[in-house]
């Protein structure tokens, strides 16, 4: 018997779905990107889905249900923005065990409602079932984009700039902070967790935001990415996805990685390598994209976007360049579902 872990998340998806060719002319893009693309006339429909499992993706010992609802919706919006599209509707399905009250589920939906209001998305349906394993949340997001504006992962070209929005590693360090305090206070009901000075890291982990603002800025600056995806499983993993699907190599520079001060301080306190956290932490939900080097001057005024490397010929490989100029093979060490 073959173990699921032998394949890993993306290998398993490819193995299970490679014999499902697209047969409908309306199916423009199937499995293999941030969202599927369906032809419904002038604007194309984008569809993405995520499942969150208690004990795997979240721990209710320290994740408030309201924050969980917000995050469950926003991470799906992020996938639509990663295709350069606009999220418009979501469908939410729940598996709920007997330990959850109606009031607890109301808190969850308060978070979903806030996310929908913030990003202009409608909740249009869903399903609920009993569960024997705690809480399961499945969210499907439907969006749209003009066909000529859709950005896939496979369009990066040799010479393109490699860019990312925001900073990296803060969400992962927020998770490490929550876990540290959970363990430290286990069985102690008299003390409170110590989060002083690291509030931003908690926000990055518990209440991430989808980068609609970056999509708007790129459009205003007349910058059309050649490839794009969101950083959910870790920067190194996502860079390798773009390179693999585009048939190119890359150089990613250590000294160009955007890192928040709070993240650097906590990493030092916890004896963690901040560069490793930035490369592999995941759940940043920033946008990683490539664009032609001709757009360099347009990028410079955009202070939320950082140029972290460039695309090379496939034969040159996927490389990480240290501060000392040492060339290292880029490796994906981020989130693995199995």
* 66-75: pLDDT as tens digits: 999 999 999 9
Q: Using 50, 70 and 90 to split pLDDT, how confident is the model at 24?
A: low
Contact present, 290 and 162 (Cβ < 8 Å): yes
Q: Using 50, 70 and 90 to split pLDDT, how confident is the model at 338?
A: very low
Residue whose C-alpha is closest to residue 127's, from 90, 95, 97, 102? 95
**Mean pLDDT across the stretch 244-250?**
97
Nearest 5°: CA angle at 269, between 264 and 272? 65
pLDDT at 38: 83
How far is it, in rounded angstroms, from Cα 232 to Cα 227? 16
Chain segment 194-245, per-residue pLDDT in tens: 899 999 999 999 999 999 999 999 999 999 999 999 999 999 999 999 999 9
Q: Name the phi and psi angles at 298, rounded to 5.
A: -70, -30
Mean pLDDT lowest for which of 22-26, 110-114, 179-183, 202-206?
Answer: 22-26
Q: Where are the domains of the chain?
A: 4-149, 161-329
Class of domain 4-149: alpha beta
Q: How far is CA 299 from CA 21, 86, 165, 218, 292, in A?
A: 39, 22, 11, 8, 11
288's CB contacts (< 8 A; 6+ apart) are 162, 163, 164, 228, 229, 230, 231, 235, 238, 239, 242
Per the CATH hierarchy, to which homologous superfamily does domain 161-329 belong? PurM-like C-terminal domain (3.90.650.10)
How far is it, in rounded angstroms, from Cα 174 to Cα 170? 6
pLDDT at 13: 63
Residue whose C-alpha is closest to residue 37's, from 68, 83, 95, 74? 83
Contact present, 298 and 221 (Cβ < 8 Å): yes
Chain segment 37-68, per-residue pLDDT in tens: 888 788 899 999 999 999 999 999 999 999 99
């Amino acid at each position: 018997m073959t173990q699921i872990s032998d394949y890993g998340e993306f290998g398993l998806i490819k193995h299970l779905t490679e014999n499902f060719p697209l047969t409908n002319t309306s199916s423009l893009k199937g499995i293999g990107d941030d969202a599927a693309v369906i032809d419904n006339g002038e604007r194309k429909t984008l569809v993405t889905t995520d499942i969150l499992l208690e004990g795997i993706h979240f721990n209710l010992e320290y994740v408030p249900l309201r924050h969980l609802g917000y995050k469950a919706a926003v991470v799906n919006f992020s996938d639509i923005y990663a295709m350069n599209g606009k999220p418009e509707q979501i469908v939410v399905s729940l598996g709920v065990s007997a330990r959850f009250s109606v009031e607890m589920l109301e808190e969850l939906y308060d978070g979903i409602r806030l996310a929908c209001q913030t990003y202009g998305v409608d909740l249009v349906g869903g399903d609920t079932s009993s569960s024997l394993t705690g809480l399961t949340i499945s969210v499907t997001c439907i969006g749209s984009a003009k066909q000529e504006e859709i950005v896939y992962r496979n369009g990066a070209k040799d010479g393109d700039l490699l860019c990312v929005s925001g900073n990296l590693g803060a969400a992962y360090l927020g998770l490490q902070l929550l876990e540290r305090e959970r363990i430290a206070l286990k069985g102690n009901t008299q003390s409170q967790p110590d989060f002083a000075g690291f509030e931003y890291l908690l926000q990055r982990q518990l209440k991430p935001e989808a980068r609609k603002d970056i999509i708007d800025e790129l459009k205003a600056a007349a910058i059309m990415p050649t490839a794009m995806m969101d950083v959910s499983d870790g920067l190194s993993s996502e860079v390798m996805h773009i390179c693999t699907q585009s048939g190119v190599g890359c150089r990613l520079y250590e000294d160009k990685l955007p890192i928040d001060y709070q993240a650097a301080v906590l990493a030092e306190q916890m004896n963690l390598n901040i560069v490793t956290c930035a490369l592999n932490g995941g759940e940043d939900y920033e946008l990683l994209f490539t664009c032609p080097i001709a757009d360099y001057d347009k990028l410079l005024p955009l202070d939320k976007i950082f140029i972290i490397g460039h695309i090379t010929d496939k034969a040159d490989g996927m490389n990480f360049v240290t501060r000392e100029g040492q060339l290292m093979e880029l490796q994906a060490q981020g989130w693995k579902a199995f």
